Amino acid sequence: MFNLGRIWRIGATGFFFILFTGGALCLSCFLLPLLRCFVRDSETLGRRTRFFVRLYFRFMTRLITFTGCMRLRISGVEKLRKAKGVLIFANHPTLIDVVVLMGLIPEANCVVKAALFRSLALGPTLRSAGYLENSESDLLVEGCRRSMEAGQPLIIFPEGTRTTPGSPLVFQRGPAHLMLATRRPFLPVVIRCRPAALLKGQPWYHVPERRFELELEVLDEVPPEEWAPLVADLPRPLAVRKLTRHLELFFMSKEDVYLAPNDPFASRNQDPDRHHAGAGRCRPRIHRGRRAVVRRRPRAGLHRRHRTRGGHP
Amino acid sequence: MIRVVTSPPSRPSPPLSPPTAPFEMTSDEALQKVKEIFAKNFGLAPAQVLPESKLYEELGLDSLDAVDLVLELQELTGKKITPDVFKGVRTVADVITIVVALESETETGR
């Protein structure tokens, strides 16, 4: 039997990529100029733009869930809604987690990958919304501090990019600088994607066999008193490195955060050694609508093994 | 009155004040001082810090670390370092050049 569900989800995924880009272009080309006519003040413009971005992301999340591509499970969402002027740290396993997370939090500011600011579709919207460009400099730390003092929750993906399957989490040092500079509590959000989908380096059509479940677990706020003793007497660069490592270990200790390299849908480019131990086969069989058949070449010699047809174990 | 000296005798003079005795810092001395700064602040082993080591690509510094490095160098040389002076710095050798230049400026300024 054809996996009709999978075919449907591949088509839907392609459609969502187009829709997302198209929607972003509409926001930039139509809504933004309209907003700029009525709003002069850059702060109000930022607030209004973020409101529409959040509305758009919520719509996209609902659509993706409604079409059966994703199942969403969130625990502790009330902590996100109450978050004001705190840092929100989340890991970043898949492409869609940003959209979901930003759709949940009102008034949230976000540190966004620098390359997206140069994109034609997203660039103007991101600049109007006042999102912060991830440039790992003291200007970013200053921008983040100002945003938090204004009472905005600040979403940061400390990895700066999606998690690389098969590698431990590697965090940038900017978040630690920010923690030391502002001494504010941070709210960890652990994001899990099971089975893994929309991974780094993966083509868009590598959709898992079944609908993936995106789980957002919002943990309790971590006050500065919990990590301050770790870095109390250290010079700042050493303190930043130690704090970054502490954050990495904090997230890595959570279940299912590490993405395994032998995920059948992880990109081949990410893993140069495709013949990894433990898999038992060179390439995972993709269900092609009939039972996967293993054809064995008859062994040359006196005895020929009786050929069997059947599913590979 | 007994004066208790808490700091080791080899410690440099207090920040932002010129050294009391005139001396010329050689490149080797500057390299030693820079290695000490890197070991204390960035946890880098002295063997890793070579004149040709690139600060950002090899030693893992970023622009925020550069700010802290400038503060340490100001404390070492007793002179203010402007961002322009430090903008073109890419390797440890560049840092040593700045340190030696600032020390000799102090020397000639007396």
pLDDT > 90 in chain A, percent: 36
Rounded distance, CA A70 to CA A204, Å?
14
Is it true that the peptide bond before A195 is cis, omega within 30 degrees of 0? yes
Q: Do A138 and B41 touch (CB under 8 A)?
A: no
Residue A281 has pLDDT above 80, yes or no: no
Contact status, residue A183 vs residue A83, Cβ threshold 8 Å: no
Residue of A144, A173, A233 to mutate when probing chain B, most B C-beta within 10 A: A173
Q: What residue of A is the nearest CA neighbor of B37? A: A235
Residue of A134, A179, A241 to mutate when probing chain B, most B C-beta within 10 A: A241
CA-nearest of A262, A308, A307, A289 to A5 is A289
What ipTM was predicted for this assembly?
A: 0.72
Rounded distance, CA A263 to CA A163, Å?
13
Rounded distance, CA A24 to CA A131, Å?
15
pLDDT > 70 in chain A, percent: 82
| Residues B13-67: tens digit of each pLDDT | 555 655 544 455 678 888 888 899 999 999 888 888 888 889 888 888 888 888 8
Rounded distance, CA A229 to CA A259, Å?
31
For A229, other C-beta atoms within 10 Å of its C-beta total 8
Q: Do A235 and B41 touch (CB under 8 A)?
A: yes
Q: Do A174 and B64 touch (CB under 8 A)?
A: yes
The residue ranges of DSSP E strands in chain B, in sequence order, are: none
What pLDDT does residue A74 have?
94
Contact status, residue A211 vs residue A248, Cβ threshold 8 Å: no
Give the helix ranges, DSSP H, for A150-283: 174-182, 224-227, 236-252
| Residues A245-276: tens digit of each pLDDT | 999 999 999 987 887 775 555 444 443 344 43
What pLDDT does residue A242 have?
94
Q: What residue of B is the nearest CA neighbor of A141? A: B64
- The two tokens of residue A222 are 């971590």
Question: What's the average model confidence in pLDDT over B82-106?
Answer: 84
Residue A285's pLDDT band, with cuts at 50, 70 and 90, is very low
Long-range pairs for A2-8: beta carbons < 8 A, 24 or more residues apart? A2/A289, A3/A209, A3/A287, A3/A289, A5/A68, A5/A210, A5/A211, A6/A207, A6/A209, A8/A67, A8/A68
pTM over 0.80: no
The residues near A10 (Cβ < 8 Å, ≥ 6 apart) are: A205, A207
Contact status, residue B34 vs residue B92, Cβ threshold 8 Å: yes
Q: Side chain identity at A260, as an amino acid letter?
A: A
| Residues A159-201: tens digit of each pLDDT | 988 888 888 899 999 899 999 988 989 999 999 988 888 888 7
What pLDDT does residue A136 have?
65
